[in-house]
A = this chain, B = another copy of it.
């Protein structure tokens, strides 16, 4: 694959720390582009999460299926976002989650061992992935604080406000799974809020 496949990711990194030609070269070599179609899986339950994923284009979701078959969604990812089961990837152990493609997607993937090589090649990558991990933790912390104990009406408003670019792109069922409510409940809340 040509060098420019990794360009969106290199641009992303450069906003954090400028990279030398050589470092950019390493990024291009370590991150492999891959195309996925809608409904395919980047990660399936029981498998090890082999790659740290960067979305160049498309849309994905990561969720846990519970006993009743509900899709409890932890995260969506669109252009210029990362999506990875942190626990499975860093510990290289079997995952309890799935990552599914919602819209045909182009992904840049780095393996665990290649990421370790990248860290050793330049401390800049340590910094970049420290910051990415921090941002990931911030996102999870914010989301947790919103869904924990909040009534469904507030969760709906929070989603609309926090992720306006996702509202038109996802189905109600998908958003509901992210907020920990059913799609029927979601539908009723929408009606209730418009009327108030």
Q: Give A contacts to B, CB under 8 Å.
A: 64, 66, 70, 72-74, 85-87, 90, 96-97, 119, 123, 126-127, 129-130, 133-134, 136-138, 140-145, 147-150, 177, 180
Contacts and interface: CB of A to CB of B under 8 A. Distances in A.
A141 B127 CA distance: 22
A142 B87 contact: yes
What is the copy number of this chain in the assembly? Answer: 2
Nearest to A133: B133
B127 A74 contact: no
A149 B119 contact: no
Which residue among A64, A127, A134, A143 has the maximum number of chain B CB atoms within 10 Å of its CB? A134
Contacts of A142: 87
A140 to B, nearest CB: 4
Nearest to A71: B149
A72 B119 contact: no
Nearest to A134: B133
Contacts of A149: 66, 70, 72, 177, 180
Given A123-B123, A126-B130, A129-B130, A145 B74 contact: yes
Contacts of A87: 138, 141-142
Nearest to A143: B144
